[in-house]
Amino acid sequence: MKSAKKTGPAKEAKATGSAKAAESAGSAKSAGSAKAAESAASKSAGSATSTKSAASKAPTASRKASTAAAPAKPAKPAKPESRLAMVRRARRINRELAEVFPYAHPELDFRSPFELLVATVLSAQTTDLRVNQTTPALFAKYPTPEDLAAAVPEEVEELIRPTGFFRAKTKSIMGLAAALRDDFGGEVPGRLEDLVKLPGVGRKTAFVVLGNAFGVPGITVDTHFMRLVRRWRWTESEDPVKIEAEVATIFPKSEWTMLSHRVIFHGRRICHARKPACGACPITHLCPSYGEGETDPEKARKLLKYEMGGLPGQRLDPPPGYPGRPAPPLGANGD
């Protein structure tokens, strides 16, 4: 019986301990489950926040991509040059050409207004060099208008054959010689309106004679002059009379004759029709057409002509101060 009594309390204590352990384990397990659930909930909330954050960033990224892909705005076109700016630039070109070509002059050999008039008519469609090589023999045989007017046409044709179009030119120079003899007492008139009435004489020829034989200012619009003033944007016209009128408004009348010589000198030596020597040009900073020709300095220097390229000039009898060599007479180079 004693034994039975002792055993009862022990079992009770053991049962009580087991119950407590079970309760403790259950409580721990419950707490762990609660913490796990709380952690899972936290993760779920974090995931939702990340998703929301990513979603909120997506439009911003899209906007950035859209901005990056948008084409750049085109640059504003250069402001057109004003009339005043063009005039200032044109006059500066003239001043700088005066420094480059202080010796600019008419490139036809002549000793009188009559010789200059005939030589200018002959210079159409040929070079001044060829005319200068041809006229010594012509003027030696026919020194006056009266002599030329009375010449045998076939003999004149043979003398001027090297200039080309010799039949038409013979008719012109004999016709103007006869007009000078009959209407002007054998003298070349010094007025534009009289000169342009002569056979074969237009405004260009008249201004060459007036400017260089009579000292009357005039603009000579030849092929070189036309080409350069268009490259320099002084005019857009292709009509010689309109070009003359437009350029005349840019410069004072006292500059017209020398302006013509400088522009023509520049066109013959540097600013050629087909291959302008841009890389050797002294006025590139003033030229809106820079780059149309050769820009490499070494290659451009090889394109220079006459005294600028170390070659003979066009006149057999150049004026004092000309830095180049005289041209050779006809036949000296086998021509």
Using an 8 Å Cβ cutoff, are 272 and 293 in contact? yes
Choose, from 109, 128, 169, 204, the residue flagged as catalytic.
Answer: 204
Choose, from 14, 222, 299, 305, the residue flagged as catalytic.
Answer: 222
Token pair of 7, please? Answer: 């055993």
Angle 291-292-295 from CA coordinates, rounded to 5° = 45
Rounded CA-CA distance 106/211 in Å is 10
Quick check: helix, strand or coil at residue 325?
strand
- Report H helices in the chain: 2-69, 83-100, 113-122, 128-141, 145-149, 153-160, 166-183, 192-195, 203-213, 223-231, 240-248, 256-269, 297-301
Per this entry, what is the length of the chain?
Answer: 335
Residues 6+ apart with CB under 8 A from 277: 270, 271, 293, 294, 300, 301, 303, 304
Active-site annotation holds for 204: yes
Residues 6+ apart with CB under 8 A from 185: none
Quick one: CA torsion of 251, 253, 254, 257, rounded to 10 degrees? 90
Rounded CA-CA distance 167/172 in Å is 9
In Å, how far are 135, 189, 276 from 121, measured between CA atoms? 11, 16, 27
Quick check: helix, strand or coil at residue 5?
helix
Active-site annotation holds for 335: no
Count CB atoms within 10 A of the CB of residue 174.
Answer: 23
In Å, how far are 92, 250, 297, 308, 311 from 293, measured between CA atoms? 22, 26, 11, 17, 21
Give the active site residues.
Answer: 204, 222
